A and B are shown apart, each in its own frame.
Chain A
Amino acid sequence: MLGKGGKRKFDEHEDGLEGKVVSPTDGPSKVSYTLQRQTIFNISLMKLYNHRPLTEPSLQKTVLINNMLRRIQEELKQEGSLRPMFVAASQPADPLSDNFREAQPAFSHLASPPLLPADLVSTMPLESCLTPASLLEDDTFCTSPAVQHDGPTKPPPPALQPVKDSFSSALDEIEELCPAPTSAEAVAAESAAGDSKAQPSESNIHKPEGLPESRTAESKLMDPLPGNFEITASTGFLTDLTLDDILFADIDTSMYDFDPCTSATGAASKMAPVSADELLKTLAPYSSQPVTPNQPFKMDLTELDHIMEVLVGS
């Protein structure tokens, strides 16, 4: 949330927020510009993916929205500052994994050094990016709510947060249990979700409520985009960009190597999704050992059990 002066600031710059381009180089105006761009981006995505017409959607409308998305994407590319990655031990997206979209040369520069949370303060303070869209305008159309965020150091859970279905609440629980990186979620999610992962995302994205809507989309944009956002994907006129790609982009698909012989940076190596049983097996010998800082996560066997139950049983 912006500080108390936030609303006033936007009032002053009202003209600059709508209609007029605000140069990305001036101080507070830059924030407004970026924010507006982000909001429009979210709205555009929603329009393309929430629409369930019985009749064929208007080609003109689709083309115009698509052009809007492309333009924003171009700008982002040019600025060279796609949303910083939140995943602390971020991995280069595995070209072989299903979630990776091809034709990624533009994003390869993001792949190599994993960004730590400290790096997140790149070109703009995060808090300022989270001002709700309603502050963009002085009218009643835009009803996006204030976005709650704990700050850049805590990576947000994958974009399922606003929807309280079983999957996301399970993830919340996991998060509570594992204060460290998202890899734990990734592991659990990957192992448990399996085929059903498409479903929560489907039900998630198609919830039409106006309120969480922009939040969902917003956190989508906040999540690392590389590879998953290639709107001009070769697989057809936007229609093939599956929701999975957007929502699950940030879940680390490479698994931690439980083999004690590998170093902590074994995170760099890919692992196949493991089943709960396998997890239990590998963890068993370590249960009595003190957890070293290099351990990717601390987990109790019983807690793991609990998680699995929640994920599978729900």
Chain B
Amino acid sequence: FLGAGGGNDIQWCFSQVKGAVDDDVAEADIISTVEFNHSGELLATGDKGGRVVIFQQEQENKTQSHSRGEYNVYSTFQSHEPEFDYLKSLEIEEKINKIRWLPQKNAAQFLLSTNDKTIKLWKISERDKRPEGYNLKEEDGRYRDPTTVTTLRVPVFRPMDLMVEASPRRIFANAHTYHINSISINSDYETYLSADDLRINLWHLEITDRSFSILLPLFYIVDIKPANMEELTEVITAAEFHPNSCSTFVYSSSKGTIRLCDMRASALCDRHSKLFEEPEDPSNRSFFSEIISSISDVKFSHSGRYMMTRDYLSVKIWDLNMENRPVETYQVHEYLRSKLCSLYENDCIFDKFECCWNGSDRQVEFLSLIVMTGSYNNFFRMFDRNTKRDITLEASRENNKPRTVLKPRKVCASGKRKKDEISVDSLDFNKKILHTAWHPKENIIAVATTNNLYIFQDKMN
């Protein structure tokens, strides 16, 4: 159970790790996004080299009741290529910033993947049969001489080795002057939004099996670009549609604010319906207050009643009915507060950590009770909203034994370091966990280190 009570906290065990063993990380292999599909059967990752790798979960084997199915590579394709912006004389990175799955409607799967400038809709389909017995073609494709055909036959489908094909169905381009940071599919499944630093666009998905086309957005729904760019002091950092209300979405900013907008109010949501902002704590004020308040991720809870935001040092849970402060705040790595100057100098302070909710448990639908987010030194953290307990775990190949419960980690902020604790100064700031994902229905999590993907499951009894 999800630790909702009864003292049954989840015990996480190592399940699998994907990716190169080398310490020498190839830049293109750096994982930049991780996302389960709606059933949890598929797990997609995007990397800096513009590739998407999709893993598929094996069907549960009745005889192997001690573990859930393993994830194996299902499809790999090059989603985005590097481009060159001739006007600005700058490269456009092919790095995949976000992947979002569409709910499955038929045999094929669809996902949206985006880099800084262009969003693509990919269709992933299986082919496990092929037609055989053509009259005018040989098996190898060569054409037969019609004069040699003496009988006619009907071609039949014969099984073949499974082939998974990915094909781009739509390209949503030329709509973003700035860098895309978020995409979010509406609950109507017909539209989606894409957000860059200054604008949010609304698009129509229009999934049909027609040939591939290039579309333009419906319109801007948010535009915060000032008339004079020198007056710019705040940018959009993340945006998401409400899970149930198809006219409602939120977007967060670099100043730690979240705005909730309703598209029914006006087409251009230049005025928010609600503004969520916590007043600054004067005792914690520093030069870096603004930077660490910048929100790097926003996620609605399953019910849509709450939303979670991640800033540099904490995770905050907001009740949509209360704008003036969050209902809960969880410190991810408060011990970094005294290191902010160094972290500013080495740019770590600009790292964008994501956060995610637990999946909705089979029995307890739509309860968002546990929060997961990453930290440094390949640590990741979980917070249980009910018990108020938290845990720090590490994604490393040393914890390689399946079904062995992961050992909790502790960082020693100051003073005497206890055995098994790690001091702040020993933390490796190059090993950052920015992307994590939770299976929508089960206690399986995917945690991305720089270039490896770890899968952990809870220990089943």
Q: How far is the CB of A138 from chain B (nearest CB, A)?
A: 8
With CB as the reference atom, state the residue of chain A lying closest to B90. A56
- The stretch of B150-158, B261-269, B281-289, B325-333 in contact with A is B281-289
Q: Are B345 and A142 in contact (CB under 8 A)?
A: yes
Q: Are B350 and A21 in contact (CB under 8 A)?
A: no
The residues of A that contact B424 with a CB separation of less than 8 Å are 139
Known: A54-B91, A55-B93, A237-B230. A64 touches B294 (CB 8 A): yes
* Most chain B CB atoms below 10 A, which of A55, A71, A142, A232: A55
B44-68 interface bits toward A, Cβ cutoff 8 Å, 1 = contact, 0 = none: 0000000000000000000000000
With CB as the reference atom, state the residue of chain B lying closest to A39. B341
The residues of A that contact B179 with a CB separation of less than 8 Å are 56, 58-59
Q: Are B178 and A21 in contact (CB under 8 A)?
A: no
Known: A19-B286, A20-B283, A141-B343. A55 touches B294 (CB 8 A): no
CA gap between A54 and B82 in the complex, in Å: 12
Q: Are B197 and A59 in contact (CB under 8 A)?
A: yes
A-B contact count (CB 8 A): 106
Q: Is A18 an interface residue (CB 8 A)?
A: yes
Q: Interface majority SS on B: helix, strand, loop or mixed? A: mixed
The answer, among A37, A40, A55, for a CB contact under 8 Å with B344, is A40
CA gap between A71 and B235 in the complex, in Å: 17
Q: Are B342 and A142 in contact (CB under 8 A)?
A: yes
The answer, among A60, A66, A139, A232, for a CB contact under 8 Å with B339, is A139
Q: Interface majority SS on A: helix, strand, loop or mixed? A: helix
Q: Are A141 and B90 in contact (CB under 8 A)?
A: no
Q: Is B92 an interface residue (CB 8 A)?
A: yes
Q: Is B237 an interface residue (CB 8 A)?
A: yes
Q: Is A140 an interface residue (CB 8 A)?
A: yes
CA gap between A36 and B345 in the complex, in Å: 12
Q: How far is the CB of B389 from chain A (nearest CB, A)?
A: 26
The answer, among A19, A55, A63, A237, for a CB contact under 8 Å with B235, is A63
Q: Are B178 and A54 in contact (CB under 8 A)?
A: no
With CB as the reference atom, state the residue of chain B lying closest to A70. B233
The answer, among B88, B197, B254, B285, for a CB contact under 8 Å with A21, is B285
Q: How far is the CB of A268 from chain B (nearest CB, A)?
A: 34
The residues of A that contact B91 with a CB separation of less than 8 Å are 54-55
Q: Is B144 an interface residue (CB 8 A)?
A: no
A29-47 interface bits toward B, Cβ cutoff 8 Å, 1 = contact, 0 = none: 0000000110110010001
A2-21 interface bits toward B, Cβ cutoff 8 Å, 1 = contact, 0 = none: 00000000000011011111
Q: Are A68 and B291 in contact (CB under 8 A)?
A: yes
CA gap between A237 and B228 in the complex, in Å: 9
Q: Are B350 and A40 in contact (CB under 8 A)?
A: no
Q: Is B290 an interface residue (CB 8 A)?
A: yes
The residues of B that contact A72 with a CB separation of less than 8 Å are 287
Q: Are A141 and B350 in contact (CB under 8 A)?
A: no
Chain B residues numbered 280-329 whose CB sits less than 8 Å from any CB in chain A: 283-288, 290-291, 294
Q: How far is the CB of B62 from chain A (nearest CB, A)?
A: 50
Q: Are B237 and A19 in contact (CB under 8 A)?
A: no
The answer, among A14, A21, A232, for a CB contact under 8 Å with B286, is A21
Q: How far is the CB of B284 from chain A (nearest CB, A)?
A: 7
Q: How far is the CB of B264 from chain A (nearest CB, A)?
A: 29
The residues of B that contact A27 with a CB separation of less than 8 Å are none
The residues of B that contact A54 with a CB separation of less than 8 Å are 90-91
The answer, among B229, B284, B287, for a CB contact under 8 Å with A68, is B287
The answer, among A20, A36, A67, for a CB contact under 8 Å with B284, is A20
Q: Are B90 and A63 in contact (CB under 8 A)?
A: no
CA gap between A63 and B234 in the complex, in Å: 7
Q: Are A140 and B425 in contact (CB under 8 A)?
A: yes
Q: Are B233 and A63 in contact (CB under 8 A)?
A: yes
Q: How far is the CB of A174 from chain B (nearest CB, A)?
A: 34
CA gap between A43 and B340 in the complex, in Å: 13
Q: Is B363 an interface residue (CB 8 A)?
A: no
CA gap between A37 and B168 in the complex, in Å: 51
Q: Is A287 an interface residue (CB 8 A)?
A: no
CA gap between A36 and B342 in the complex, in Å: 11
CA gap between A133 and B283 in the complex, in Å: 23
Q: Are A61 and B350 in contact (CB under 8 A)?
A: yes
Q: How far is the CB of A233 from chain B (nearest CB, A)?
A: 8
Q: How far is the CB of A226 from chain B (nearest CB, A)?
A: 20
* Most chain A CB atoms below 10 A, which of B85, B232, B343: B232
The residues of A that contact B85 with a CB separation of less than 8 Å are 56
Q: Are A37 and B232 in contact (CB under 8 A)?
A: no
The residues of A that contact B339 with a CB separation of less than 8 Å are 18, 137, 139, 141
Q: Is B337 an interface residue (CB 8 A)?
A: yes
Q: Is A136 an interface residue (CB 8 A)?
A: yes
With CB as the reference atom, state the residue of chain B lying closest to A144. B345
Known pairs A53-B90, A70-B233, A139-B342; list 10 more (Cβ under 8 Å).
A18-B339, A36-B341, A54-B90, A56-B90, A59-B197, A63-B232, A63-B233, A64-B350, A66-B233, A237-B229
Q: Can you list 18 A-B contacts (CB < 8 A)?
A: A18-B286, A18-B337, A18-B339, A19-B284, A43-B345, A59-B197, A60-B197, A60-B254, A63-B235, A67-B233, A68-B291, A137-B338, A137-B339, A137-B342, A141-B342, A141-B345, A237-B229, A237-B230
